[in-house]
Structure 1
Amino acid sequence: MGSSSGSPPSWASEPCIMGIDEAGRGPVLGPMVYGCLYCALSYQHKLSSLNFADSKTLKEDKREELFENLKTDDSIGWATDIIDPRELSAKMLNKVKVNLNEISHDSAMGLVSRVLGLGVLLTEVYVDTVGDAEKYRIKLSGKFPGIKFVVAKKADSLYPVVSGASIVAKVTRDGALRDWVLEEVAESMNRNFGSGYPGDPATKAWLDHHKHMVFGFPSLVRFSWATCNPYFKDIVEVIWESDATDDEGCSTGNGKRQLKLGSVGFTGVKRKTEDIESSGKGRCKFFHSRKLEQVIHFS
């Protein structure tokens, strides 16, 4: 999370309102970001004059301008929760699955807890709904009984405090995607991934170009999304080295090719000596980016 301040503002002891919204729920690439904006209840009338609007209706430069303005406004506080695509996929594919709605609810409640923890007297919180609005409101009220919650569809276009939160979330996500470090660096990798939405032709082309027959996709990709499934029709079935024969590759009964993890890389180069394998040289970027080494001696 990031925020405007690590300590409560001078107006924190007054009754305060907060808005919560997200950006990047639908894309197959990049993080999902939850943002909140909060201020004294007495400042609420001023918010409507700051030209906040649903971030989706604003051009990028206008969103950036508004975000810079709110960051310098001492009467406004804000915070974000940036949820990594790897975390999204891991939770959604876990043995005990956590669906996207639950992840979203947890993030929103985490922001409320954080702002309360700063010493801000929250009395009203406005939330753009995820799932059934009334069930979500009951869930939030049960967790924070001292706060009045208003949960509504299109809250980002109804309440200026949520519009401000949507700008915080959207600008933060755009920045995270723009500055994303592609850990699995290979000569053929590029950043021409478009908007990250499944229907974007540029995003589709990027996914097709960057799929790996063993390791799937780079960590930028939410591999739990159904969008990714068609890219794995001919994926290699992997057997671990402890179960493998001495051959570099073998065939299974169903005719599919099986390869040892150590012999597959973005470069397509196979190294056969144990010394090179154990040192990690020439192995797939998957291992380097995660600082994984082959263990050959056990205590």
Structure 2
Amino acid sequence: MVSQKLRRGLLLLPALLLTGCNTVVLNPSGDIASQQGRLIVISTILMLLIIVPVIALVVLFAWRYRKSNTAAPYEPEWDHSTKLELVIWGAPLLIIIALGLLTWITTHTLDPYRPLSRIDSARPVTPQTKTLKVEVVALDWKWLFIYPEQGIATVNQLAAPVDVPIEFKITASNVMNSFFIPALAGQIYAMPSMETKLHAVINKPGEYEGFSANYSGAGFSHMRFKFHGLDQQGFDDWVKKAKAESATMKRADYLQLEKPSEREPARLFGTVDAGLFHDIVNRCVAPDTVCLNKQMSMDLNVKPGQKHE
């Protein structure tokens, strides 16, 4: 009786463990993440079309041709079957072709650098659709978000209106990191002296988890932030609240924020220096520092043997 209950408990254990899983990747609130989740499901089903029959046949052959089954045919001279060869090679080949075609199409349609063509499956992006621009900086160990059009900045807090395309420009101050909001879109690397991009849209209001998906040192575990999907009025109110803050994000403020720190609280900055993100990418925020783009431009214009003036 005890062993029977134990067996039942072991059978239920995987189901109990799965109840604690967060399936946000397969049930996201953003159109890009939804398409990515659907791609995972379709790819898994296509692969299972081969895996499940193979596992079933392994069990079948092991049972049918067991040693004690003397009724099973014994054909030691058998070596070829055209029909069997067609099934063995044809089915996987068709699956590979289908997966390759699906991957090729989605690689282009879900390219993070590609501007959105739709809000969701029923609503295309029109020329009148306004895009929200957000500049993202991965710091040690916190996130800085700059809203250049609104003239505000935030630390460890991100907000966007629902059904409005978002264009993220992403970089890092020091080491490589990865910007990831599972409910919104896939992860995109943030690298120093480089700018990566992500286009996405949130379709449902709510509070979502964002974090770093690439280990970057001691404070990595706490490098998290909240992403708020708001209606347009809620977003406008959030911007007004940020503008009312006396805290500023000037270059001197950024140089202080850039220093490594852990468990930074979310906060808003009412003003931000124009061009700050450009200078972060080109590593020239500090005074009397030549920007990398200017340095490279000067290097291109210098003739062999000639010195910089």
What is the TM-score with the length of structure 1 in the denominator?
0.22
Q: Point out the structure with the larger strand share.
A: 2
Q: TM-score normalised to the size of structure 2?
A: 0.22
